[in-house]
Every structure is written in C-alpha cells, then in structure tokens.
Structure 1
Amino acid sequence: MEWSEEEHLQLMDKLNIKKSILSISSPGTHLVPGDDKLAAKVARESNEYAAALKKRMPDRFGYFASLPIPDVQLCLDEIATSTSEGCDGFVMMTNGHGVYPGDPALDAVFDELNRRGATLFFHPTTPTCPCSPSALAAGEKPMKAVPLSHRYPNPMMEFFFDTARIVTNLFLSGTVKRCPDIKFIFPHCCGALPPMLSRFTGFSTLVPGPWTGVPEEEAREAFKNQMFFDLAGFPFPGQLRGLLEAGVDHTRLFYGSDFPYTRPEGVELLVGQMDKGVKELFSAEEIKDVYHRNAEKLFS
C-alpha cells in the first residue's frame, strides 16, 4: 500500500486533524522468518525516516518506532536508539512469526518498556503458528493460521481475532501485572476481545493451568488505568458498546484512521459514521476528549 507525506497532510487538513502519530502496520518490519539481518535493516530505516519526518514537521507528525519481534536484541536496540531519536512510543505486531506478546521469550522487551514507562501500540497481523519458541526450536516452521483466507481477506476477521489473542495472553501470562508502567494502546476497539472478557477471566480463576489467574475486576481496572483503545475501523454501533460494557470509559479512547490501508474516501465515510455514533454515547465535552484531548494528554 502506497503512502505519501503529501497525501497524508491533505487528508489531515480536509478532516481538521492537527497531528498524526504514524506507525508501521502489518506485516511489520520483521518480514522473513529467521532473517534478522533484513529485519534490522528495515526497522532501522523505517524508524530513521519517521524520526526525520517528526524533526522536520513536529507540529504535524509524531511516530511509534517499530519493534521487529521476535528478535529480542533487535527490539532492545531499537528501543534505545529510537528513544534517543525522539519517538513517541513503540509499535509491535500481534505476533512475530508465531511468537506472541506475553510469551516468555519476549519478557526482556516488555521489562525494558516497563522500565522506561513506555507507550506501546499494537497492530494486528495474520495469525501464525507455531505459537511458541519451543515449537520453533523443535523445528516447526511458521505457517498462517487462517482457514477462511481463501474466501475472506484477513483484516476482515483474523486481525480482530489476533488482537483478542494477544490481550488475553498479556493478561494470562502475567505481563500486564508485571509491567504496570507500560501504557498499552490496542487498535480497533480491542478487536474481538470484549465479549471474551468474562470468559477468559472466569476460566483462568476457576480452572487450574499454566497461566496466571486474572479476576475480572483486575482486568477491568487495567482497562481503566493502563490501557487505551483506538476507534479505527467499524466501531459503531455495536463494537464500541461492548468495550464500554467491559469497563472502558471515554477517557481511554482515541480517534484512529487506518490510513493508508483505508483510502481517503473510506476515512471520510468512517469519520461521518463516527461523528454520528459518538453523539449517541457521549456528551459534547466527552467527544472533545475522544477526538483530541485524550491524545494530547497522553503525548504531552
């Protein structure tokens, strides 16, 4: 998908968007399983470009630096370098060739982000197996876990399922509790997660297993105090209501466009739906929070 600074600025001006926080979406910057050298090159060049753009136009652009999971050392290097270059936070995919956030293999990355009190945004990507380093070590090769991809594009459903998968895994692995100073941002109103909240919390506390039991109130408190959610995609009318029922209020919500994967005409259409939808749920002052004041506060 092509992107240009000029087209982005034109869209921002048309929709009265003062500033954009840019990030690399699927497939991320670790493109080929096992090719860490290529991942290092792509991640560094992408982050350098974004840093230069922000430096040149700081009032219009910020950025999340890409973390090329599953390579831990590359991620640690990029955290240090991109912080020195002025990034506003970091972005990682919902899995790196079958290694999912919350996996112990990525603990060092999350511990470093927590030490820095970092903001971490996730972008969904195609679900991939094997889903553990032990399976990879046993010789299993990463493969797409998308049984319906011959009929439906992965962003239609699979991206939402992968988002729900990582949120659940971050809780059940104990990562959320261990890293209270990371500010998590989840896309698309948290994907398919809201209806699963009571299930994964209830199951984890009632059934013994190799996971951390998470009482539902503990998860709801994390939603209220540590997590944020963007409104990209099709959150109205039902999806956002589900997220609000999960204990999220308007102070945790941001506008998101999904541009350029959503083309300008699609962005405009969704903005119209959003303008209508937020008026049914929030007051005029709350809408100002959702549209700009929440982001201004987080990135102050």
Structure 2
Amino acid sequence: MEKIDTHCHIIPSGWRRWCEQYGWDKPDGMPEIPAWSPESHIKLMNQLHIKQSILSITSPGTHLKVGDVELARRITRETNDEIATVCRQFPDRFKFFASLPLPDVDGSMEEIDRMVGQEGCCGFALMTNAEGYYLGDPRFDPIMQKLNEHKAVIFMHPAQCCSIDNPGADKPLPQYPTPMLEFFFDTTRAVVNLLLTGTVSRYENLTFLVSHCGATLPPVVERVARFSGVLLKDSMQLSSNQVKEIFRTRFYFDLAGMPFPDLIHGYLRIGSAGRLLYGSDYPYTPGNMVEALSDTMDEGLRDLVDDKTRKAIYSGNAQALFGG
C-alpha cells in the first residue's frame, strides 16, 4: 500500500560538519550521526512503497552553540538551503520541513519570511524545547503569530530535556540514549505546555504534528485536565474531553517510534485514526529496522482498522494535510 512518510530525516553534509565541530557528533547519546544520501533513502522508499518523504532536521536542531545567535542563524540558513536543493533535485520524492534557530526569536521570524512559499516547504520543524524554553513559552508568541498568519504546519520533534538556567546540564539518566525515554517525555511536556498556555486556542490556524504516536500523552490527559482546573482561570480550564477534541481537530500524530503493539491502543483512546500519519524515522532508525517495523505496523493496523482507514493513515491523511 502506497505511503507518504512524514517523519524521516536528512543529514545535510554541511549540518553534519557543524554538528561535529560543536560536539554533536554523538547526538543525544547515540553512537554516531548515521549515513544518509538521497539515493539510499529513495532505495528504501521504493522497497516500502513510500511515494514521498517529508525531510526534516532532527535533534539538536540548528542552534548548536548556546547563546551564539549569529552562528545559529548561519547554520539554519545553510541547512535549509541545502535541504531545499535536495528537494529540487528529487521533487517527486522529497519535500521538507524548514528549521528555525530557536530560541532566537528575531532570527526565526526572518527565516520564516525567507522559507514560506519556497518550493517543497511543507511547514516548519521545531524542537520541543530550545535551551529549556518549551513550545508555548510566551517568548515564542511572535513566532506563533507569524506562523498562524501563514496557516503553517508545525512538526514537533523531541529534543533533550534541559534547564533554562543551565542548558548544558546533564540530562536525566545520562547512561541511556535520550531517544529511548526522554524524547517521549519531552514531547509530552511541549504538548501540555502548548495546551495550558492557551497557545493552541489563540492561534487557530496552526496545525501541530506530534511525533511518536503521542508519546506519553495518553495516560496523562485526564491528570492534566484535572490540574488545569486548579492552575488556570475558569475561561482557560480544559476537560479531558476538550483535550481529546483538540487532538482530533488541531493535531496530527505520526506512527514513528515503535507504537505497535501497545502504544497505539492508548493513542486511540485520546485521538482518531483520521489524524494518524505514517512515519519511518529513517535513517536514525536503520533501514532494516524500518522494514521490520513496517511489517509490524501493517499487521497491527490490519487488526485495528479497515483497509480504507489503513490507506488513509499511510497516505490519504497526509495528502489531505499537505495537498498532492
């Protein structure tokens, strides 16, 4: 069945060099930055019937040296331009989410203006936090306002949890790779912050794409809703049913991150199959593992939904979101 991959990554040669120069050659506790080429990616796509892939930069994003705004702007511009070049070379196979140099607000505003309308640009990839500032933080309101004006899709990718006061502090349980546990927790932090700060409700034209089938959101929705009654004014309080309705109307969730056989059931308690998108997480998930996980996903979806819904999850929902 034909697929559109909404969660997969590109490793531009320039970005790789910047990462190596600034100490990100073993990102998030992983052993290395994986190899990538458009040819190898397309070969895997052909094997798995992936019609099109939407490429993005993963953690740590493009702000690689804490506090160096000019460097972040340069890396972001060069990286987005290199990705755009690849997409122009293979327009039928690749589109992309542009990166922003968060937490630099002015630089991000400039990059939005530069990238909106560029051929192949489907939206913007934002890390769940930038130097400890989470999506939904008031300092990012000008960015959200501008993205809202463009009715943008925001692809939220998890990053390493860190402190505003000490962005270089060790992550929790540093002996384990960040993607193993912390990526899921950081996604949950960012989504909850977007909801409880009212960011989602204020900027009605934004669409949020959440990684990894909602991460650890399913078991905490009721708890977050109950706490909103304590923390927020009456007009801002959210019931769990309201949160679920927001997820079913303003959010999409990709199937990267091994959601089968268990997590998918939690997601379907809070979200809709009509908001699910296929994701491979290639090349940070190696090709042979992507193939195995694809088989597991196919088997799991056959048990849960009919063929029409499965087709929508694999490609139709993405076509409705991005066009084409």
Band the TM-score falls in, shorter-chain normalisation: over 0.9
Match of 1:185 among 209, 212, 216: 209
Q: Which residue in the other structure is 2:162 paired with?
A: 128
Mean CA deviation greater in 48-57 or 10-19: 48-57
Residue of 97, 104, 111 corresponding to 1:71: 104
Q: What does residue range 279-294 of structure 1 map to in structure 2 within 5 Å? A: 279-294=302-317
Identity among equivalent pairs (%) = 44
Paired residue for 2:89, among 46, 56, 77?
A: 56
1:94 equivalent among 128, 137, 145: 128
- Contact between 1:126 and 1:145, CA under 8 Å: does it hold in 2? no
Aligned residue in 1 for 2:17: none
Q: TM-score, normalised by structure 1?
A: 0.93
Contact 1:129 1:145 in 2 (8 A): no
Whichever residue aligns with residue 41 of structure 1, its letter is: R
Structure number with the bigger relative contact order (C-alpha 8 A, sep ≥ 6) is 2
What RMSD over aligned residues (CA atoms) do the two structures have, in Å?
Answer: 1.4
Shift of residue 191 of structure 1? Answer: 1.0
Kindly state the Cα deviation for residue 210 of structure 1 after the two structures are TM-superposed.
8.2
User: Which residue, out of 130, 146, 153, partners 1:119?
Assistant: 153
Equivalence for 1:159: 183
Distance 1:126 1:81 in 2: 27
Give the secondary structure class of the aligned counterpart of 1:18: strand
Determine the C-alpha separation between the residues in 2 that align with 1:198 and 1:99. Answer: 25
8 Å contact kept, 1:233–1:270: no
**Could you tell me how far apart the structure 2 residues matched to 1:49 and 1:83 are?**
16
Q: Secondary structure at the match of 1:146?
A: coil
CA distance in 1, matches of 2:53, 2:222: 34
The aligned counterpart of 1:44 is 77
* Equivalent of residue 109 in structure 1, options 102, 125, 143: 143
Question: Which residue number corresponds to residue 31 of structure 1?
Answer: 64
| Amino acid in structure 2 at the alignment position of 1:273 | T
Find the counterpart in structure 2 of residue 137 from structure 1.
Answer: none
Measured in 2, the distance between the counterparts of 1:208 and 1:294 equals 35
Under a length normalisation based on structure 2, what TM-score does the superposition of the two structures give?
A: 0.86
Native 8 Å contact 1:12 1:18 kept in 2: yes
The structure 2 residue matched to 1:194, chosen from 200, 212, 218, is 218
CA-CA distance at 1:146 after TM superposition? 2.4
Equivalent position to 1:148, from 173, 182, 185:
173
Q: Secondary structure at the match of 2:54?
A: strand
Distance 1:119 1:84 in 2: 13
Distance 1:126 1:141 in 2: 13
**Runs of 5+ consecutive residues of structure 1 not aligned to the other structure:** 131-139
* Matching residue of 2:199: 175
In structure 2, runs of 5+ residues without a counterpart are 1-32
Displacement, 1:269?
A: 1.1
CA distance in 2, matches of 1:62, 1:15: 18
Deviation sequence 1:122-145 (CA, Å, 0-9, x none): 110110112xxxxxxxxx332346
Write the distance in 2 (CA, Å) between the matches of 1:80 and 1:190. 30
* Counterpart residue number, 2:295: 272
How far residue 84 of structure 1 moved from its aligned partner, in angstroms, is 3.4
Cα distance in 1 for partners of 2:203, 2:231 equals: 23
**Aligned partner of 1:4 among 30, 34, 37:** 37
CA distance in 2, matches of 1:295, 1:84: 19
Aligned to 2:21: none
Rounded Cα–Cα distance in structure 2 between residues aligned with 1:291 and 1:60: 15
- Whether 2:284 is the aligned partner of 1:250: answer no
CA distance in structure 2 between the aligned counterparts of 1:35 and 1:3, rounded to whole angstroms = 27
